[in-house]
C-alpha cells in the first residue's frame, strides 16, 4: 500500500522527466505542405477553440477565406479577431452553427450558399465527448447527433458547392477511440443502454464509416471531391469539459499531451497535401495513413449506417448522385490536384 502511494506521489515527477521524449514521439506528424490558398474558401466547424481554431488560423495564414462555424458566436468572434490579428487576413468570418439542431445546420448552409460561389475545404471538426445522457433538438443521442449526424447533414447540404469548386476536400475529425466503437442499430439513440465514454467511441467509429462510404460514392460519381478521416492525437482541448475524470487524467498526463496546434497538423495535412487524391477514404494519424479496426472496415455496416442516417435526417439515400446531377462537365470528372 505504501509503495502504491509512493508511486502515485512520484508519478508527476517521473512524467515530467520523461515528457520531452514522449512529447516528441506523440507529436511527430507535421504538415509540411507549402501550398498557399488565395481565392480559396474553407469552412471549419467548432473553430472557436482548440484544434478547430488552430486549423482555421493556418488556413487563414495561407490566404483562404475562412468561415468559423460555431455554436457560440461570441467565442467565435473573439477567435476570429485573434486570427485576423495574427495572420493579417481579414477574411475570417463567423457564422452560427449548432450541430445539435438540424434547423441551425440548414440555416447555416442556406446562408453560406447565398454568400459564396465556391467551397474548397470543409473540415468537420466540432464534437462533444462524454456528455451525460441527453438528446439533440431532433431527438438524437447527443454524441451520435452532433459528431456524426450533424456533420453528415452539413456535408450533404454543401456537397454540390464542393463539387462545383472541385478539386475540393472534406476532412472528418475522428479518434483512436473508434477502436472501442460499435454501431448498435437497435440502440443508435442510447435509449436501451448508455455509457457516455462508449457513446463517444461509437460516434467516432461512425465518422470513419461515413468517410469511407462517402469516398466510395464520390469516386463512383467522378466528382473531384475527396474525403479523409483523421485522428488528431490526444490533445489539450475543451472536449473533456463534461468529465471530471478525464480532466484529471488530462492534467496528470499534461506534460506530453499535444497542443491544439500539434493536434491540427493531420487535418491540415489531409486538406492541403498534394497527391492525396488516390488515398481518399483513408484514415490518417500523425500525417500518415493509419490502421483502423475491423468494425471500421466493414462495408456492409458503412452502407447500412448511410441508409439509416439518411432516413433519420429525412434526406434521399442517393443524395450524392442527386447533388452531382447531369450538369457536371467532363473537365470535372478528370483527375485533379489539391486546392492551391
Q: Which of 72, 26, 23 is nearest to 52 (CA)?
A: 72
Q: Are 172 and 228 in contact (CB under 8 A)?
A: yes
Tell me the C-alpha distance between 140 and 146, whole Å: 8
Say how far apart CA 37 and CA 57 lie, in whole Å. Answer: 12
Q: Is 90 helix (H, G, I), strand (E, B) or coil?
A: coil
User: What are the distances in angstroms from CA 100 to CA 106, 305, 310?
Assistant: 12, 19, 16
Assigned C-alpha cell, 44: 471549419
Residue with cell 488515398: 279
CB 123 within 8 A of CB 42: yes
Scanning the structure block, which residue is given the C-alpha cell 478525464? 246
Task: Please tell me whether residue 9 adopts helix, strand or coil conformation.
Answer: helix
Per the structure block, which three cell numbers stand in for 59? 488556413
Which residues are catalytically annotated?
200
Amino acid at each position: 500500500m505504501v509503495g502504491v502511494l509512493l508511486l502515485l506521489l512520484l508519478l508527476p515527477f517521473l512524467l515530467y522527466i520523461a515528457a520531452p521524449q514522449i512529447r516528441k514521439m506523440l507529436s511527430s506528424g507535421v504538415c509540411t505542405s507549402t501550398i498557399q490558398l488565395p481565392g480559396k474558401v474553407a469552412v471549419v466547424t467548432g473553430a472557436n477553440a482548440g484544434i478547430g481554431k488552430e486549423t482555421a488560423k493556418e488556413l487563414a495564414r495561407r490566404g483562404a477565406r475562412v468561415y468559423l462555424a460555431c455554436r457560440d458566436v461570441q467565442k467565435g468572434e473573439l477567435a476570429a479577431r485573434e486570427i485576423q490579428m495574427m495572420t493579417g487576413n481579414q477574411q475570417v468570418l463567423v457564422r452560427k452553427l449548432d450541430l445539435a439542431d438540424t434547423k441551425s445546420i440548414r440555416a447555416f448552409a442556406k446562408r453560406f450558399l447565398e454568400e459564396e460561389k465556391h467551397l474548397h475545404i470543409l473540415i468537420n471538426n466540432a464534437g462533444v465527448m462524454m456528455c451525460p445522457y441527453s438528446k439533440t433538438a431532433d431527438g438524437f443521442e447527443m454524441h451520435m447527433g452532433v459528431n456524426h449526424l450533424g456533420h453528415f447533414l452539413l456535408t450533404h447540404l454543401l456537397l454540390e458547392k464542393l463539387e462545383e469548386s472541385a478539386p475540393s476536400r472534406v476532412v472528418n475529425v475522428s479518434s483512436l477511440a473508434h477502436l472501442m466503437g460499435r454501431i448498435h442499430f437497435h440502440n443508435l439513440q442510447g435509449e436501451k443502454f448508455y455509457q457516455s465514454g462508449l457513446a463517444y467511441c461509437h460516434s467516432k467509429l461512425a465518422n470513419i464509416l461515413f468517410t469511407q462510404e462517402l469516398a466510395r460514392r464520390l469516386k463512383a460519381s467522378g466528382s473531384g471531391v475527396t474525403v479523409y478521416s483523421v485522428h488528431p492525437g490526444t490533445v489539450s482541448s475543451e472536449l473533456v469539459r463534461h468529465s471530471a475524470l478525464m480532466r484529471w487524467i488530462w492534467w496528470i498526463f499534461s506534460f506530453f499531451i499535444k497542443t491544439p496546434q500539434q493536434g491540427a497538423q493531420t487535418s491540415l495535412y489531409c486538406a492541403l497535401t498534394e497527391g492525396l487524391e488516390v488515398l481518399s477514404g483513408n484514415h490518417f494519424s500523425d500525417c500518415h495513413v493509419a490502421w483502423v479496426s475491423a468494425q471500421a472496415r466493414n462495408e456492409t455496416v458503412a452502407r447500412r449506417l448511410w441508409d439509416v442516417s439518411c432516413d433519420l435526417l429525412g434526406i434521399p439515400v442517393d443524395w450524392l448522385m442527386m447533388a452531382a446531377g447531369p450538369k457536371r462537365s467532363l473537365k470535372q470528372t478528370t483527375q485533379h490536384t489539391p486546392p492551391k
